[in-house]
Structure 1
Amino acid sequence: MNKHRYTAAAVMLSLSMLTGVAAADYSDLKPHWAEQAMEFAVQSNLMDGISEYTFAADAPATRACLVQALYRMEHAPAADTVLTFQDVAEDASFLTAVRWGVSNGIITGYSDTVFRPGTSLTREQFAVMLYRFAEYKKLDVTAQNALSGYTDASSIHPYAQTAMQWANAVGLITGTTATTLSPQRTVSRAQLATILQRFAPMVSYQQRETDAPKPPQTHSYTAFTTKLGDVTRSETEQDLTEVHRATRRYTDGQGCAVEMGHSAAVLDAPAHTAAQFEMKGMSGTVRWYDTAASSWKQQPLAAGTLPSGMYFLRVDGVDSILVTPMTYAARDNGMIEYFPGKNGSLKIERTASGFRFSVQVAALTQGTYSDYLLLTSQQTLIDWSDQSMLSRWANYSLIGTNRWCYNGYYYTAPSTYYPFDENYFYSLPAAHIAGKMANDTDQPASRAIGLAMIDLMREQQNEYGFIPSQAGSTWLKTDYGIEPGYYDTRFNTDFWLANINAAENFGVTGWLDKTRKYADFLVSFAGQHHFTFGAGDDEGWLVQDYWHPNGESSPTHASLNHHAAEAEFLYRMADAVNEDSYAVLADRMVRGIEQSELLWYKPDGDLNYSCKPDGTCSGQDYPYLTYNDLLELQRLYAARHGQENPAIARLLQVKLTWMNKNGVTGYNK
């Protein structure tokens, strides 16, 4: 394939034909797994919204939309081919694009008189148009994947076979799972934007040698206020020849600064330094947690290079924490693929006054990006003699199953999620470590990192009030018809509980506005998606666990751990904003547990995992999660009502007996 030298800024500028609409004008771009790609498509004028303020990310992409995007990518050349299509109006905004596409063999009509501009695109049709455009641009299209690893490759129509093989080989269209390509699946507008973003560098004009990189652009503002003062958030972006760099920095009044760095390769890029910082002092130590040995390691600071890891640096009593750059690529449904062989490193140098640390990004291939996390301070952050702190920070690892990237929190993907492959991670609304850090009132590092993470994750709240789970779940799809972008009650409730904890522990009361929005959504959701036990004053509800706003899914089960956590959140929310209506629903949910109590007991002495709308309960419960949830729910119930709930007490005793019998540890006392 032809490779041209260009900057991401040059791509933006060369594609841009100002329309007066900016990405920020569309209210539905954020939060979304493809928001960066959609912003690129809008800012580059490759795509428009469907109305003045609506982009419609999840709506199907149409034939007219794609041909217009490719036409604009070609800088909208003149085209006066006479069309005979009766369904393309003379005043249609895409008229000239269709003329250009037809005259250059990019797209054809269904007949001499029918074009069908509003017909949605399938993945194989998309590949064909991209392939034809690549040929038109005289790009190298010889790269071919056999597609033999995909079980549905035989369903690709013959006319699209070569195009799909090429699109897959160059990474434009990947599998929807490790073994399926889904050639007839409809392409959404978000997916169209994502693939256009991947495709644009392949067809970009050559960068002129006289073009200088644009200077960094920085925007700063007060992100939130704690009881210790304001926290400032600064955003900096810069386009260099091979990479687009972005840095986000949270700075508080206690000398802590949390920096999130992002280097995205718009062209194959050499290894480079993403950030540098210095610590003054004559001696220091570096610590890290060795997961293989389940123990902490430390060594004196010395000049040299440390491999990828999460490092705790101390020089003369001042601490910094660094998660070195790790490299990923965006995949469908908000998934990212991790490349272990492309990890960054930490370079250490001695200076006259102390140590200089350089955050090193490995060489990147086009389309990949590398992210790091850095906390610098002017104080001692962690008491290494405190065993509870050691345990917590061993658990707070961000280089294993948990990852923090520039756009949010990720967790290693289970095989039941799609698309799935080795080293895939999915966007996790719960942001587990951030939630745990929100309770660490004795650790400045937890306060700084945890609050920064929560602030960014809050931006993913959608118009309904919840943070959608973007990855597909095969069992939710099979059992209930739930597509990607669904509501997971547990993940969301855990995250918004963390917001309440941040408000109470750190004084971030401004976060209760969006937390209330979620609470109001949960109240509405519970009213529409529950099944009832009992009647009259004794009526209780069990609230279903999952839902998709497209309205096409079936009612789901209610698991005891989800249900207890939701009631816990509602009691906490009632106290946080002094609004008893939330507690009224929590009481009704507790009555649901009371009325269904006998259904939860299993013959082996454990509890069932979930109950279905027909009243049947089954499934293997978690070892201790449900116990911890019920224990906290009991505490909150007793605080509000002056006495414990007998049904919850019995469920707790049964679960505790089972845990002790089976040697389960780790539960709350």
Structure 2
Amino acid sequence: MIRSFSLFAMLLATMLITSLLPRAASAPQPGIPVVTEANLARAWGTLHEKTYAFPNGDRYWVKRLEAGTHDQPYTFSLFLPGRTGTFRYIRYADGDPQKPVWSVVNLEETAQLPNAPGFLETADRHVWIGAPIVYRPLGRGTIEEKRDHFLPIAVHKQAGGFALEIRMPVQAGLVSEMWALESSHPLVPWEREQFASIWLALDLQRKAKWLYDGYYYQSPSTYVPSSPDAYWRIPENYVLRSLLFTGQSRAAEDVAYVMLDTSVQNQEAEGYWKTLPLSEWLWQEYGIPDGFFDTRFNTGAAELMLEGCRQYRDTRFCQAAQKYAAFFRDYAARHHFVVDGVNVGWLVADYAHPGGNRKTHVSLNHQLAEINFLLNMYVQFGNPTDRELAAIMLNGVVNLGPKWVAPNGDLYYARFPDGSFGRTDYPYLTYNDLRETQRLYWTVYGREEPELDRLIRSKRAWMDANGVVNPFPE
């Protein structure tokens, strides 16, 4: 399935900003936090609370209110010591979503915070705080935001600091949430200019939400359920990708851990992450119902687990990556097309459902992402079965060689079950996937793969002829 341009634009933007800084060191960052969780019964429903207490003294907390009846708002305070303070948040110039800019307000001059995630800063306290959100659960891992129900955070100047009054609506059938990361130290080094640009690109307000149980992205109109204000829980977290691969800030190191920990809890016992909504396109084309397996989203999620394993040395993240690799090896053995050649190759189907479905097409970018993950797993853990499957899948690509190339020199997006090729490829996503495959091939085998080189050169020539600029370093 070709996803909406906006979704892959987010992925590509995230990949771009992670290339602006050196890769985060593969060493434990903030340390393993102590996690506490409570589910508290109230007269109006249930209050869920979770806290991560990090060894560096930072504290992340999240609250979720599930209301069964109407009641007065649930109210609590957050105190910030300091004579002066600011709130840094993202606004959009001229209301244009393509023009995000930083805006800073002085706490002593405002009565309430703008409804946006942002950074509260005084001399003694630093807080990354989410925007209050109220939503209606739609089922199938989807929520519908109720923007007219939220209550703004009030700011009260007091002796010695500022008291933030946070009110969470209690309304039957709706859920209210709030989260924050608190620290006694600066969370982001804003004095380094590139950090302002990197964090400006991280969207947790318009197209994406960070909630108690995961990362949600704006629902495509072809998903069921859906609405203009709907968001679905997507396996691959693009904000997490940026936090992991840029790092170099307390906010990134702390919240990346929280996001990884939440993703582990969403992993199925079999080792994969379900796409919970129904895709009308996949249902009509291949008979795939809701709760299906999407290879690209899953491989992206597992890649983040592998990076979390490297950085935090948390055995659960390492085991989650290995669990997915084991699942994928079994999946590939049952859902592939054989491609004959000097060495037999496999093309692995993009989508499947545990209940069964017609075999789907194979997108070149999906296949390459899977190969890259398997080679990265082999480099990390040395399991020869990962390298062997990657080799068979790479054979599936190179055995078809020039058949991937369209008459105009571009690459075809996918090969279909009837053996035909078609659909327009992404401008540069697949090109960079190919380059990463070649890089990993060199790492493992000490040489380049010639057919990959031909595909790379064909795609590059098409990009040059059509004015497509690759934003990533080459």
Distance 1:419 1:326 in 2: 19
2:406 maps to 602
2:31 maps to 229
For the pair 1:384 / 2:190, whether they are aligned, the reply is yes
Displacement of 1:317: 6.1
Q: Deviations over 1:365-405 (max 9, x none)?
A: 31000112211112111111333322221222211111111
2:55 maps to 253
Contact 1:263–1:369 (8 Å) recurs in 2: yes
Displacement of 1:647: 1.9
For the pair 1:337 / 2:144, whether they are aligned, the reply is yes
Distance 1:343 1:666 in 2: 38
Distance 1:464 1:440 in 2: 31
Q: Secondary structure at the match of 2:246?
A: coil
Q: 1:530 to 1:365 in 2, by over 3 A?
A: same
Contact 1:490–1:565 (8 Å) recurs in 2: yes
What TM-score do the two structures reach when normalised by structure 2? 0.88
After alignment, is 540-549 or 254-263 more displaced?
Answer: 254-263
Contact 2:59–2:183 (8 Å) recurs in 1: yes
Distance 2:454 2:194 in 1: 31
Displacement of 1:668: 4.5
Contact 2:31–2:312 (8 Å) recurs in 1: no
Distance 2:140 2:164 in 1: 36
Q: Percent identity?
A: 29
Q: 1:227 to 1:426 in 2, by over 3 A?
A: closer
Aligned to 1:567, which of 358, 368, 371?
371
For the pair 1:650 / 2:454, whether they are aligned, the reply is yes
Contact 2:345–2:399 (8 Å) recurs in 1: yes
Distance 2:138 2:192 in 1: 41
1:451 maps to 257
Query: What is the RMSD computed on CA atoms of the aligned residues?
Result: 1.9
Aligned to 1:478, which of 284, 302, 322?
284
Aligned to 2:86, which of 273, 277, 285?
285
The one-letter amino acid of 1:631's match is: R
2:67 maps to 265
1:544 maps to 349
Aligned to 2:268, which of 462, 470, 476?
462
1:666 maps to 471
Distance 2:148 2:472 in 1: 37
The one-letter amino acid of 2:344's match is: E
After alignment, is 511-520 or 339-348 more displaced?
Answer: 339-348
Displacement of 1:227: 5.6
Distance 1:665 1:296 in 2: 26
1:141 maps to none
The one-letter amino acid of 1:288's match is: Y
Distance 2:30 2:259 in 1: 18
Displacement of 1:310: 0.8
Q: Secondary structure at the match of 1:277?
A: strand
Displacement of 1:452: 0.4
Distance 2:200 2:383 in 1: 38
Q: 1:366 to 1:261 in 2, by over 3 A?
A: same
Contact 1:599–1:616 (8 Å) recurs in 2: no
Contact 1:255–1:379 (8 Å) recurs in 2: no
For the pair 1:412 / 2:214, whether they are aligned, the reply is no
Distance 2:452 2:473 in 1: 15
Q: Secondary structure at the match of 1:566?
A: helix
Q: Deviations over 1:630-656 (max 9, x none)?
A: 222221111111122222222222223
Distance 2:30 2:129 in 1: 24
For the pair 1:533 / 2:339, whether they are aligned, the reply is yes
Q: Secondary structure at the match of 2:71?
A: coil
How many residues align structurally? Answer: 441
Contact 1:324–1:359 (8 Å) recurs in 2: no
Q: Deviations over 1:290-310 (max 9, x none)?
A: 133421111222251113111
The one-letter amino acid of 1:321's match is: W
For the pair 1:358 / 2:174, whether they are aligned, the reply is no
Q: 1:667 to 1:659 in 2, by over 3 A?
A: farther
Q: 1:483 to 1:668 in 2, by over 3 A?
A: farther
Q: Secondary structure at the match of 1:331?
A: strand
Displacement of 1:573: 1.0
Q: Secondary structure at the match of 1:370?
A: strand
1:276 maps to 77
Distance 2:334 2:81 in 1: 59
1:611 maps to 415
1:127 maps to none
Q: 1:227 to 1:339 in 2, by over 3 A?
A: closer
Displacement of 1:446: 1.1
Q: Secondary structure at the match of 2:72?
A: coil
What TM-score do the two structures reach when normalised by structure 1? 0.63
2:18 maps to none
Contact 2:129–2:179 (8 Å) recurs in 1: yes
> Any unmatched runs of 5+ in structure 2?
1-26
After alignment, is 377-386 or 349-358 more displaced?
Answer: 349-358
Q: Deviations over 1:64-112 (max 9, x none)?
A: xxxxxxxxxxxxxxxxxxxxxxxxxxxxxxxxxxxxxxxxxxxxxxxxx
Distance 1:533 1:317 in 2: 63
Q: Deviations over 1:581-625 (max 9, x none)?
A: 101111111121111221221223322111113321111222222
Distance 1:321 1:228 in 2: 16
Q: 1:626 to 1:270 in 2, by over 3 A?
A: farther
Q: Greater CA radius of gyration, 1 or 2?
A: 1
Contact 1:287–1:311 (8 Å) recurs in 2: yes
Displacement of 1:343: 2.5
The one-letter amino acid of 2:329's match is: V
The one-letter amino acid of 2:81's match is: K
The one-letter amino acid of 1:315's match is: T
The one-letter amino acid of 2:463's match is: M
Displacement of 1:338: 1.1
Displacement of 1:364: 4.2
The one-letter amino acid of 1:643's match is: R
For the pair 1:305 / 2:107, whether they are aligned, the reply is no
Contact 2:260–2:317 (8 Å) recurs in 1: no
Contact 2:30–2:253 (8 Å) recurs in 1: no
Larger RCO (CA within 8 A; separation ≥ 6): 2
> Any unmatched runs of 5+ in structure 1?
1-224
Displacement of 1:665: 4.5
Q: Deviations over 1:278-329 (max 9, x none)?
A: 2222222211111334211112222511131111111116421111211111
Displacement of 1:462: 1.4
Contact 1:628–1:668 (8 Å) recurs in 2: no
Contact 1:426–1:471 (8 Å) recurs in 2: yes
Q: Deviations over 1:543-585 (max 9, x none)?
A: 111010012x000011111111111111111122221210111
Q: Secondary structure at the match of 1:337?
A: strand
Distance 1:574 1:344 in 2: 50
Q: Which has the higher strand share?
A: 2
